[in-house]
Chain A
Amino acid sequence: MDNMPVIAVFFQSVPEEIVLFSLASVFLGLKMQWKRILTAAVISAFASYLVRHLPISFGFHIVVGVIVNALLIYYFLNRNLFYSFCTSIIVLASLIIAENIIQNPVLMMLGYKSPQEIWNNTFLRVVISYPTIIALAIITGLLHKRKFSLFGTGKNKK
């Protein structure tokens, strides 16, 4: 069980979720609706905080995360449920992959052997997530600028 501190929710999960919901908006071919994205991100961050405190085996929280995010995308971004689920899966997979590509080498450079070793160090835990968040934010910004969409109508439409 990951006893994620509340401070990490505000400084790690919320920014992470903001980027994820922005990426979801890009994939769905939507304009950035910041109020909706922010609301969905805060709800999702706290949902994730609660799930991590539940006595469930690791891995199950990803399933819950996909379902919660899909429902939030559906509700806040006004999309079709099918596309909400597909977007939620792809966005979450992007985060996991980006975390593993960026975070792991940084951890190794700092002399740690696994991510769990820094779970008790709140400051490091939060700081180490930022390269991934920034990388995903840059990718989101570029895709948005190029008007790429996965489930929108046409490649150049918003």
Chain B
Amino acid sequence: MKTIQEKCAEFNRMFLDELPDWQSRFQFLVDMGQSAPIFDKLEFSPEDRITGCLSTTFFKVKIIHGKLSVSGWSNSAIMLGVIEMFRQLFDEVSQEDVTRGDYTISFIDELIKNMTPSRADAVGQIVQKIR
């Protein structure tokens, strides 16, 4: 099983180096969202809501036996893709590994820089929930 460092490095490379421009990166997120497992919106409570009115988005991180369980729901294809990206990176990862924080998610920093303010804020909230 890959470590969180390896998974993040892979995502950084794929997202920033292999995808040629932001058009294809956002399309990648849309595609990712469309192929993501479907969570029931009713699983989420108001505390899981990512605030902001552009779309309805929920993101939840639970700790089960010391490991992160990541899930989310959104009515926006891009935000579904973002949720799926975080799920693939952090689901089943030990809390200890996450809090140690010795991984780099530079693709997220770049993503935030290339989003509209409300969306950038929403992704920032997701990062905070993970950390």
Q: Do A and B bind each other?
A: no
